[in-house]
């Protein structure tokens, strides 16, 4: 959660960034002060920024209600839907904005190892999952997503734009069982399902629901919950066995979530994907300067990826951002450029 200091505009225009780190108190707060020689004339407008660590959501919400916090987390205010509804009713003067996340939550697997080398198995995993049910139960708001998160709508394909691959996003447990039988697993199979407890309880709830859906079609998974640091060093970079589920792709622009996840030598290629057709299409996309031609390639890539299901993309969450009305020139932004955002806003109170 963030609080901002007093309105004050600097006159100098030399420096390397808008704020300097004053102090860091682990699990309490981080304090930044205005850089005296920031290079943008007239900015930053605030003298001080405090990032507060509040492990209890209800405490943070209470502080926000009483004006002790100027804005929720940089990206969104993470509260239950009923708390958000109550906040909107009791504090209609606050600023609110709904949008979709650019982070994709999904399932990935060792596509270089059986049984996941078989596209029928990958498709069965995808059709075993009721995406909308997980959204409704855990997130309240969100949307099923293809390879590029729906939070980047100018590049992300809708389900009806995925061609033949669209059907693999539909919840179809009977078809999933048929595909598994066709692949030689009429009784299903057993495997591991990795995740982390470092990204909130909502993720664990979603993973357990996915685990239940997989079991319904015969895929029994032993859940392996990993400490976040261990998860980042192993599962996230493809050092695991079986399946994994967590946020694994972020899209500020269309290229990186595709290139990083599919080019064989990339460390973010957690599923060990090595598909020459995808590699060739990505190389062509990188060299294409014409915007419409590039968009067509990216649409075609998402269609082909939907057919192959190397990564079983599930959903991206719906977000409600909120901030105090006296925080001016501010809006939610899904990049990590926190400093520039703080430099551009001011407080009127």
pLDDT tens by residue, 171-201: 999 999 999 999 999 999 999 999 999 988 8
Same domain, 110 and 246: yes
Same domain, 202 and 131: yes
Residue pointed to by tokens 């920031």: 38
If pLDDT is split at 50, 70 and 90, which confidence band does 102 have? very high
Domains contained in the chain, number:
2
If pLDDT is split at 50, 70 and 90, which confidence band does 9 have? very low
Same domain, 180 and 293: yes
Same domain, 196 and 341: no
The answer on pLDDT for 169 being more than 70 is: yes
Query: pLDDT, tens digit, for every residue of 191-236?
Result: 999 999 998 888 999 999 999 999 999 999 999 999 999 999 999 9
User: Among 13, 5, 4, 16, which Cα is nearest to 42's?
Assistant: 13
Rounded Cα gap, residues 149 and 251, in angstroms: 6
Query: pLDDT, tens digit, for every residue of 112-152?
Result: 999 999 999 999 999 999 999 999 999 878 999 999 999 99
Same domain, 127 and 271: yes
Average pLDDT over residues 98-116: 94
* 119 close to 111: Cβ distance less than 8 angstroms: no
Same domain, 146 and 15: no
Rounded Cα gap, residues 219 and 122, in angstroms: 12
Range of the domain at 49: 2-94+324-347
Residue 110 phi, psi dihedral angles, 5° rounding: -80, 90
What CATH number did the domain enclosing 76 receive?
3.40.190.10
Same domain, 137 and 85: no
Break the chain down into helix, strand, coil percent, rounded to 5: 35, 25, 40
Tokens of 60: 């943070």
Same domain, 140 and 219: yes
Same domain, 307 and 186: yes
Same domain, 19 and 117: no
If pLDDT is split at 50, 70 and 90, which confidence band does 5 have? very low
The percentage of the chain sitting over the pLDDT mark of 70, rounded to a whole number, equals 93
What CATH number did the domain enclosing 244 receive?
3.10.105.10
In sequence order, the β-bridge partners of residue 189 are 219
The answer on pLDDT for 294 being more than 90 is: yes
Q: What is the pLDDT of residue 73?
A: 55
Same domain, 20 and 149: no
Same domain, 58 and 23: yes
Query: pLDDT, tens digit, for every residue of 68-90?
Result: 999 865 444 456 677 888 888 99
Q: What is the pLDDT of residue 247?
A: 94
The answer on pLDDT for 15 being more than 50 is: no
| Total-model pTM | 0.86
Rounded Cα gap, residues 243 and 233, in angstroms: 16
């Amino acid at each position: 959660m963030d609080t901002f200091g007093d309105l004050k505009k600097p006159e100098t225009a030399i420096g390397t960034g808008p704020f300097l780190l004053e102090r860091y108190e682990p699990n309490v707060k981080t304090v930044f002060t205005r850089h005296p020689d920031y290079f943008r004339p007239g900015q930053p407008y605030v003298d001080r920024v405090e990032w507060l660590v509040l492990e209890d959501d209800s405490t943070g919400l209470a502080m926000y209600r009483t004006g002790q916090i100027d804005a929720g987390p940089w990206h969104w205010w993470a509260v239950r839907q009923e708390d958000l509804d109550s906040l909107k009713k009791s504090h209609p003067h606050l600023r609110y904005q709904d949008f979709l996340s650019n982070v994709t939550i999904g399932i990935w697997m060792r596509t270089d190892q059986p049984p996941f080398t078989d596209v029928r198995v990958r498709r069965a995993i995808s059709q075993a999952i009721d995406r909308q049910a997980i959204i409704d139960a855990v997130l309240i708001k969100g949307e099923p997503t293809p390879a590029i998160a729906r939070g980047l709508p100018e590049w992300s394909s809708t389900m009806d734009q995925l061609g033949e691959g669209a059907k693999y996003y539909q919840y179809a447990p009977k078809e999933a069982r048929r595909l598994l039988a066709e692949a030689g697993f009429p009784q299903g199979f057993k495997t591991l399902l990795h995740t982390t407890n470092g990204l909130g309880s909502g993720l664990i709830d979603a993973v357990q629901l996915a685990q239940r859906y997989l079991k319904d079609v015969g895929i029994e998974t032993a859940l392996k919950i990993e400490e976040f640091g261990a998860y980042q060093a192993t599962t996230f970079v493809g050092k695991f066995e079986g399946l994994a589920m967590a946020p694994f792709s972020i899209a500020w622009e269309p290229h990186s979530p595709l290139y990083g996840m599919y080019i064989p030598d990339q460390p973010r290629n957690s599923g060990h994907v090595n598909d020459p057709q995808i590699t060739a299409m990505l190389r062509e996309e990188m060299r294409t300067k014409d915007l419409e031609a590039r968009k067509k390639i990216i649409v075609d890539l998402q269609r082909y990826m939907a057919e192959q299901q190397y990564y079983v993309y599930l959903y991206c969450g719906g977000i409600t951002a909120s901030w105090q009305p006296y925080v001016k020139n501010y809006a939610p932004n899904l990049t990590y450029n926190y400093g520039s955002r703080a430099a551009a806003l001011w407080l009127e109170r």
